[in-house]
């Protein structure tokens, strides 16, 4: 059974930092795209960042220069380092994995392109 488990969320003041982790089990994702999405109350799920098997990455404009996605294939884990957090970053953050396209350089930004999801971790940024 494939599982993605996020951790690292919490409450932080504006300007602070958090590091999210997502550990995968049940299969290896070393050749697959991994991504982070977020969903704020009353809003649709939004792409935040994604990373391909070679480490190539993309970000939504609103987090560029503040967030960094990385992966450790030996640990089957993807990370999201979030710095200079803003109240508008408040959301439930989900990690996702896209299987079926191994060693693809393309990082999709649509949720429908990912077929494994974690349960989410809450990030709350106070002003």
Question: What's the mean per-residue pLDDT of the chain?
Answer: 97
Number of Cβ within 10 Å of residue 49's Cβ equals 25
Give the per-residue pLDDT at 82: 98
Report pLDDT digits (tens) over 59-78.
999 999 999 999 999 999 99
* Distance of alpha carbon 91 from alpha carbon 102, whole angstroms: 30
Distant-in-sequence contacts of 65-70, Cβ < 8 A, 24+ apart: 69/34, 69/35, 69/36
The mean per-residue pLDDT over the stretch 33-48 comes to: 97
Give the per-residue pLDDT at 100: 83
* Distance of alpha carbon 2 from alpha carbon 48, whole angstroms: 22
Report pLDDT digits (tens) over 81-120.
999 999 999 999 999 999 988 999 999 999 999 999 999 9
């Amino acid at each position: 059974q494939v599982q993605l488990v996020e951790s690292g969320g919490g409450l932080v003041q504006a300007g602070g930092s958090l590091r999210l982790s997502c550990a995968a089990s049940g299969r290896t994702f070393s050749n697959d795209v991994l991504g982070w999405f977020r969903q704020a109350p009353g809003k649709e799920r939004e792409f935040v960042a994604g990373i391909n098997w070679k480490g190539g990455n993309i970000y939504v404009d609103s987090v560029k220069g503040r967030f960094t996605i990385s992966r450790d294939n030996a640990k089957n884990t993807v990370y999201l380092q979030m710095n200079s957090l803003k109240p508008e970053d408040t959301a439930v953050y989900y990690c996702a994995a896209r299987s079926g396209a191994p060693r693809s350089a393309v990082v999709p930004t649509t949720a429908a392109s990912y077929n494994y999801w974690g349960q989410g971790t809450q990030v709350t940024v106070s002003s």
